[in-house]
Amino acid sequence: MSNWEITLAKNSGFCFGVQNAVTTAYSIIEENPREKIYMLGEITHNETVVGDLLSKGMVLVHEPEEVDAGSIVLIRAHGVTPDVIEVLKKKSCRIINCTCPFVEKIHKIVREADQAGHPVYITGTKGHPEVVGICGECRNRAVVVSSLAECEALSDIQKDSVWVSQTTFSSKEFQKICEFVQKKIAKEQIFGTICSTTENRQRETAELAGVSDVMVVIGSKTSSNTKKLFDLCSDRCALTYLVGSAEEVKPMLSMWRKADVKRIGVTAGASTPVSIIREVIQTMSENGVNTNSESNDINFGDYIESIPQLRKNATVKGEITTCDGDFVYVNVHDKSEGKIPRSEFEPDFDFEAAVAEHKEIEVYVRSIRNTDMGKEIILSKSHVDFNKNKAEIEEAYENKTPVTVKVINVVKDGVIASYGGVDIYIHRTQLDLTPVDDLESYKGKSLEILVTQFDPDKRRLRVSGSRRTLLNNERKAKADEIWGSIDKDKEYDGVVRSLTDFGAFVDIGGVDGLIHVSELSWNHIKHPSEVVSVGDKVHVYVKDFDPEKKRISLGYRKPEDDPYYKIDERIPVGSIVRGKVVRMFQFGAFVELEPNLDALCHVSQISDVRLNKPQDVLKEGMEVEAKVLDVNASARRISISIKEVAPINPGEPAEEEAPAEEAQVEVPAEAPVEEAVEAVAEVAAEETPAAE
């Protein structure tokens, strides 16, 4: 019997993304025994795993149209296109998205680049599910490059292009492509998106193949990353074999004995479960071989068993390895990583730094679920932090000091906020200065509150808080500051709090002031809502104030916005102006010179002949030229003369009498404007029917 030595590459078997997807699949089956559960595409390129899931009732489909409406659909680690997700949503499916965080990161890079108009290039295998999903994020067609030769054959690489890679692409080939592309575009436009586990796996496999007589690559022949491992090994070791199970290894044993093989290297693709790796190693071990781990040079059986076993309810330390939108993943030195709900972390927790530094934290083991394919370990950070944070909340309650909390849930009459695992109830009347109707808008927000109740004596800790109390305290302090420094013409930035028929109330920082409706606009308005709305930010100044009655009168309209601002300079007496006839009365016509700026041309200043009314020669909308006779800014009046420039005479003699049905206003042609306006007003009043 030959004395073989077997070395197992450290990074062998399931990668994080596949492990998460497979574990989730078994959990969903267990939790929903009566539900129809679909696997959209093979969850992993491993026939054993897929076959086992199908035997437990899961249904394999390849298109979203094959899925029944309202069913559960599992999205594999490779991810899918946005169009697929949209189809499933329209079918009201419950989507369990197990897309690998590394793949989601590529989706985000590609989506943002495409939206910004950058051409997108992807290094990877054409038609691979992961590559198809990435391409789906582009409205414009993405270019997929599978080798350096294909890259060199490209007719034109645009300078503003963005490059990413399939997570399991050959790191060696990607490096060659990068060196070529960097001659044409900026280095910052190339994103190294090959999974770090993939890079480590390929590097270790290449090193192991270089010192082994035989290399055994365990995995599926349909797996992209397994094929790349096989190619790496074949370049360095003549006797390289790709096997999918222990049965495929047995026929090779006698051949290896005859060839006097001394060292056998073993690696496994990212889709290969540990159970299959164990079976292959055990098959070779039964033939009297020495089985070693590459890193520690120990027996393979000892290597598996030496992994620390977690216990439920234990408190352990671990390092943060990665995170996604829902969970933070922690290496707790077990076969599988544990996960913590992201909501358990503080609002300002720096996830990126924690992942980069592999930040060590203390965690509590809530549950461990064993499946045929591994473990699902649920951890809690808030449980560990609870006692510490409970003491801090109690101290804040006693000292009346504010604390920052995050709203995590909405209940009937308020919200539940969390302070490091301590739940705090905030009633809807205590969220703001006025009662809140839309509680959902607060979910996920961070708020500063005062702890108003702390009751540790009952079976369950009861804590209540108030943001309103804190806001009232702040408002009172600001009000005292304003009343101590207020002065006429002082300017403030404020927020419109409410509107009435007579004006708008504005909060200028703890104190409300009133902008009268007449102060909102230089033009006549019927209601403040024509100018401002509740919540608008406005710049105001103090017109008057009464400290005893706590009243402040505010100004809003700006002098420079007044149509009569510097009118003497803009339209001096004697100048020639041009305007449009907008209104006519018997005594004259109003001509619009500028928006909201009208001038009166008296009936006697229109024609060389005496007119009964302006309508004899003018029509609304007609453009005319006139000479400025008088400008009175204080009276807000401008008088002009058309006949001083170009008199408009009637084509026929004016009628001696007006039609009987037309009301007449007897106003001498020489009458001043004030008398003419009063006469028109009196007739209008007489023609208005009295209320019965």
Q: Are 99 and 78 in contact (CB under 8 A)?
A: yes
Contact present, 341 and 383 (Cβ < 8 Å):
no
Q: How far is CA 530 from CA 501, 518, 563, in A?
A: 11, 12, 18
CA 73 to chain centre: 25
User: Distance between CA atoms of 347 and 417, rounded to whole angstroms?
Assistant: 11
Cβ-based neighbour number of residue 559 at 10 Å:
10
Cβ-count burial 21-58 (b if 16+ within 10 Å, e if not):
bbbbbbebbeeeeeeebbbbbbbbbbebbbebbeeeeb
For the record, the structure tokens of 87 come out as: 């189809």
Full strand arrangement of the beta sheet holding 239-243:
239-243, 214-218, 263-268, 5-8, 290-293
**Is 76 exposed, middle or buried (CB count within 10 Å of its CB: 0-12, 13-18, 19+)?**
buried
- Active site (catalytic) residues: 130
Over the Cα atoms of the chain, what is R_g?
Answer: 41
Q: DSSP per residue over 390-453, as a string?
A: HHHHHHHHHHT--EEEEEEEEETTEEEEEETTEEEEEEGGGSSSS--S--GGGTT-EEEEEEEE
3-state SS class at 630: strand
644 in helix, strand or coil?
A: coil
H or E element, residue 76: none
Q: Catalogue the long-range contacts made by 428-431 (C-beta closer than 8 Å, 24 or more residues apart).
A: 429/468, 430/465, 430/466, 430/467, 430/468, 430/469, 431/467, 431/468
- Rounded Cα distance between 440 and 410, Å, is 7
Smallest CA-to-CA distance from 680 within 662, 665, 670, 669 is with 665
Helix (H) or strand (E) holding 604: none
Nearest to 189 by CA among 269, 83, 112: 112
Parallel, antiparallel or unpaired: strands 446-455 and 403-411: antiparallel
Burial of 200 (0-12, 13-18, 19+ CB in 10 A): middle
Structure tokens at 324: 């996604």
The span from the first CA to the last CA of the chain, in angstroms, equals 122
Q: Cα–Cα distances in Å, from 303 out to 231, 267, 424, 504, 680?
A: 27, 15, 46, 76, 105
Q: How far apart are CA 330 and CA 347, in angstroms?
A: 19
What SS3 state is found at 579? Answer: strand
